Structure 1
């Protein structure tokens, strides 16, 4: 069976990987457009601290639980680390009553989702021991299960493993042309590809792609600007930091700290670091971690999150021979590796083994009734309706 996957971000790469593991012939087509969300996202995997509606939390929790298995597979197949690592996380605040409420709610969630790990309160001194640049007045609720992942690295591992199993990668724009009784014909790189199934996983560009077939998908770009700092310290063991705002901090090996992020709906595909966006990121980062004031601003990445009006990803069959895997918003790095496994099963005509009804392609009104009002992405803070965080 031949499947063409359009898009090689985290969703497309994960889908392709799981397809070739199941024996499918796979062609991945990607135009390499600037602003792909996977390359810019922060990479926090902590759905337990996020404000997920009940209908979406099982998917998010299962996605987080799947990461260790996937990381092990990729390390075995490629000989390289996927970058996934459990480092813990801290919900921080200077308000003791607020911390108490967060601790209570997170403890309740951890009771039904063991992946969250152990929950404990930290005073400001203890919190700074774990994340030294933190403001001295901030206490924390710590959970041991929060993890981080480098989106670029895990995507590359997925693609490397897919190629080794026979997948072909085509660097090109893709055009869809319907074939009677068959999946769409794909024109890419001067070639014509016929397939049994096409998986549209083109992130923020998916709506334009499937519009070529007359199919409407309510996915639009949301620009996010995320800054990286170099600090004179060993940062590999530092936990994820989640303040009450929708911004965040996390660290990676190599003395790197990442801070984000803006949420700019209506910016279209304008791939620029703006003065206002940079100021917003810096102000929030330094308010939470003033110890970063002397850090080197190494780079600011810009990515376009594929957002939907109700915050629910779009996963499933949209037409005969066409399956969608898009609309993850800020949660792509949390959800997409597991979602790719489910979408691969659907593309092969099998039962995904997981209830994806809430994510099925449907008219916006129908999805609004069964979907989430909002979801905090892979890293949002507990019960906070402040907007999604990059994932």
Structure 2
């Protein structure tokens, strides 16, 4: 039996641990429980099909991530985990320009041919759009996709960890320090206790660089700050669809009047997890422009998450070539909850020398991890 350490207990690390344990391996999941962890702050929209991103490798990862959810949720239910925060509610893609909306409709029909999980596609007028989402501005038309879903990152991560523990995964909370001997990473120390492992994966998101640096490695994944607002309305909204404006914002509902709107995308913000007046004001203004019916909603919480962004905004995963026994998956950015569970499965395949659905060569680790040299 091969032993594995997974360092970083967000959605990606929790999924990697779960899939390795399902394969019968000994797994230790180590998490520092960082304030600002993207999984804990994020509200996930599972529906990447109309993204404007043109990178084929990113779309392959995101679309496979969306497709994998049905299988994953069914697996978790087999372990008695039904509180995953996942529900298929559909999505409304809105745009103020008629020809842009028609282009979205055409793209949806095109993507439907290779991704039937996208569901049914229809072009809605203003009345039909407002019927599905009563708070939206009255002049909005939309492309309606029935296959989109929402997910609560905290709930899904917790469900994955509980299922992993049922499979024998050991959960350790604390600050990890990677250990190496003769160029081979052979475990990690947490509070002076040593956890030996044949193979180790770093899935710590924006914090991965701090684990790599003592080994002479430079991590290039950087945090991107996102401020997300949570509201309460006096309507039952469990069945309401996700709203996808033409901007980077999103709006989704978690039932019992819980509405989430976000998020800012703040580069060069470091590890600052403070809600700011400017950030909150920016999100509020966008929210009221898209859904003026929120004007009387109660503002109940502001969450701040640090998304891990890799160079060229393309995630990486695979073996770190400069050290034996060391792997990484990182840089999911804003698509963490869409692609994280699936990428955890793919990383588990790589670590066990099995073939996954994706080719890691298209997500090269060398873009995000460099060896520190005298010239660095």
Same fold, TM exceeding 0.5? yes
Q: Residues 77-130 of structure 1: CA distance to partner in whole angstroms, max 9, x if unpaired? A: 034232221111011123222211211122112222212111101111111111
- Tell me, yes or no, if structure 1 residue 11 matches structure 2 residue 12: yes
C-alpha distance in structure 2 between counterparts of 1:320 and 1:365, whole Å = 14
Instruction: Report if the CA contact (8 A) 2:45-2:338 is conserved.
Output: yes
Aligned counterpart, 1:120: 122
C-alpha distance in structure 1 between counterparts of 2:129 and 2:205, whole Å = 36
Aligned counterpart, 1:293: 295
Q: Residues 45-64 of structure 1: CA distance to partner in whole angstroms, max 9, x if unpaired? A: 11102123122222221111
Aligned counterpart, 1:23: 24
* Secondary structure in 1 matching 2:248: coil
- Tell me, yes or no, if structure 1 residue 330 matches structure 2 residue 353: no
Aligned counterpart, 2:374: none
Instruction: Report if the CA contact (8 A) 2:50-2:104 is conserved.
Output: no
Aligned counterpart, 1:35: 36
C-alpha distance in structure 2 between counterparts of 1:351 and 1:109, whole Å = 26
What's the CA shift for 1:181?
5.7
Return 267-276 or 351-360, whichever deviates more: 351-360
* Secondary structure in 2 matching 1:297: strand
**Residue number among 342, 347, 350 corresponding to 1:343 in the alignment:** 347
Task: Give the alignment of 1:182-197 within 5 angstroms.
Answer: 182-197=184-199
Instruction: Report if the CA contact (8 A) 1:171-1:189 is conserved.
Output: no
Aligned counterpart, 2:363: 359
C-alpha distance in structure 1 between counterparts of 2:315 and 2:338, whole Å = 12
Instruction: Report if the CA contact (8 A) 1:242-1:249 is conserved.
Output: yes
Aligned counterpart, 2:155: 153
Return 75-84 or 150-159, whichever deviates more: 75-84
Aligned counterpart, 1:110: 112
What's the CA shift for 1:273?
0.5
What's the CA shift for 1:197?
0.4
Residue segments in structure 1 that go unaligned for 5+ positions in a row: 367-391
Aligned counterpart, 1:241: 243
Instruction: Report if the CA contact (8 A) 1:78-1:160 is conserved.
Output: no
Aligned counterpart, 1:69: 71
C-alpha distance in structure 1 between counterparts of 2:262 and 2:183, whole Å = 46
Aligned counterpart, 1:321: 325
Residue segments in structure 2 that go unaligned for 5+ positions in a row: 371-376
The alpha-carbon distance between structure 1 residues 80 and 136, as it changes in their structure 2 partners (threshold 3 A), is same
Instruction: Report if the CA contact (8 A) 1:170-1:189 is conserved.
Output: no
Aligned counterpart, 1:379: none
Instruction: Report if the CA contact (8 A) 2:30-2:176 is conserved.
Output: yes
The alpha-carbon distance between structure 1 residues 196 and 364, as it changes in their structure 2 partners (threshold 3 A), is closer
C-alpha distance in structure 1 between counterparts of 2:273 and 2:66, whole Å = 30
The alpha-carbon distance between structure 1 residues 354 and 363, as it changes in their structure 2 partners (threshold 3 A), is closer
**Residue number among 99, 103, 106 corresponding to 1:97 in the alignment:** 99
Instruction: Report if the CA contact (8 A) 1:56-1:358 is conserved.
Output: no
Give the TM-score normalised by structure 1.
Answer: 0.91
Query: In the comparison of the two structures, how many residue pairs are matched?
Result: 366
Instruction: Report if the CA contact (8 A) 2:84-2:159 is conserved.
Output: yes
Instruction: Report if the CA contact (8 A) 1:312-1:358 is conserved.
Output: no
What's the CA shift for 1:180?
2.1
C-alpha distance in structure 1 between counterparts of 2:367 and 2:8, whole Å = 23
CA RMSD of superposed structures (Å): 1.5
Aligned counterpart, 1:48: 49
What's the CA shift for 1:309?
2.1
* Secondary structure in 1 matching 2:234: coil
C-alpha distance in structure 1 between counterparts of 2:26 and 2:204, whole Å = 19
C-alpha distance in structure 1 between counterparts of 2:69 and 2:236, whole Å = 25
Instruction: Report if the CA contact (8 A) 2:187-2:198 is conserved.
Output: no
* Secondary structure in 2 matching 1:154: helix
What's the CA shift for 1:354?
2.5
Give the TM-score normalised by structure 2.
Answer: 0.94
The alpha-carbon distance between structure 1 residues 365 and 315, as it changes in their structure 2 partners (threshold 3 A), is closer
Aligned counterpart, 2:225: 223
What's the CA shift for 1:33?
1.2
C-alpha distance in structure 1 between counterparts of 2:368 and 2:76, whole Å = 37
What's the CA shift for 1:217?
2.6
